[in-house]
Structure formats: C-alpha cells, structure tokens
Amino acid sequence: MNTETVSQVISQEDLLKHWQGHRALTRRVIQAFPEKDFFEFSVAGMRPFAKLTDELLAIAAPALRGIVKRDVQPFTEGSTQGFTTKAQYLEQWDKDTKDIDALWQQLSVEDFSESFNLFGQYEFPIIQNILYFIDNEIHHRGQGYVYLRALNIAPPFFWER
C-alpha cells in the first residue's frame, strides 16, 4: 500500500478547507457588525468583537508561520494595533487567508504528529495546535452571534462556509 491510496480520517487538503470554511464564516460575522458596534458593543462586559478578532488574527497566520518554519515566537496582538476600521480588519483577514493557503502547502502529513512549542507556551503535536486555532475561533464567534442577536441583527447561517 503506498501513501497515495492510504485512507485518512481527514486529509490534509480537507482540513485546510475545513479551517478556511470557518474563517470565511467568521469574516461574514465581522461584516455583519455595524462599524461602531464592531469596536464598542459587547454583552456582560466581555471583549467587543474587534478585540476578539485581534486575538483570532494574532493566532491563525502567525501561529501557522511559526509551525511551518519551526520558529518559536511569543504571542502578540501587534499586527492589528492601531486598526480603527472594519475594512482594515477585513483586508488583514484576506491577506492571512492567502498566507495560510501558501504556508499549508509547506506542511507534510508527517508534520502533524510532530510536537511544536507554540508561542513558547503550548508544547503539543501540531495537529492539536491547529485544531485549537479552529476551536478557539468557533468559540469566540459563538460569542459574536450572541452580540449580533443582542443588536437585533440576524447572524449568518452557521453552516454557510
């Protein structure tokens, strides 16, 4: 049996599609917020969606870059510092979408079981790190759905990717 015919629980290509599908949905959630509310509105004293997006952007592409290059860098939300418009966030989002696609091609199936010390703090197999990025995004986006409902705005369908 050679690797081309080996069954995978999930293929590398499908995992990327899964991740980018979630990122496309989060992009729709950013778009759904009125400009002002994206930066200011929240429920129960939690972070506004712009602040949650700072975190998501600080993880996805920078973390994958660290993994691919095996370059341990500390966590920083610096890339979005000074952003004052949704358009700036969306532009960064799209740039990172392309970067993620390109970086992904540099991974091999074997890499996913290797350990990497993400942000110098989370020493786990790479697959676990990547699933964490996705899960953390779904989690915070779920908060964003509540913010939108509280603003009387219908969020995008969860299954739209």
Which of 29-37, 56-64, 71-79, 109-117 is the region at the interface with its own copies (rule: CB under 8 A)?
109-117
Taking each helix axis from N to C terminus, what angle separates 126-150 and 49-69, rounded to the nearest 10 degrees?
A: 170
Least separation, in Å, of the C-beta of 84 and its own copies?
26
Question: Rule CB under 8 A: which of 18-37 touch its own copies?
Answer: 18, 22
Least separation, in Å, of the C-beta of 137 and its own copies?
9
CA distance 54 to 31: 15
Binding mask 66-95 for its own copies (x = CB under 8 A): ------------------------------
The secondary structure of 34-90 as a DSSP string is -HHHHHH--STTPPPHHHHHHHHHHHHHHHHHHHHHT-------GGGTT--SHHHHH
- C-beta closer to its own copies: residue 78 or 142: 142
- C-beta closer to its own copies: residue 61 or 107: 107
Kindly tell me which residue out of 8, 73, 76, 84 binds its own copies, with binding defined by CB under 8 A. Answer: 8
Give Rg (Cα) of the chain.
17
Q: Is 158 in the site for its own copies (CB under 8 A)?
A: yes
Residues near its own copies (CB under 8 A) are 1-3, 6-12, 14-15, 18, 22, 43-46, 109-110, 112-113, 127-128, 131-132, 134-136, 138-143, 145-146, 149-150, 158-159
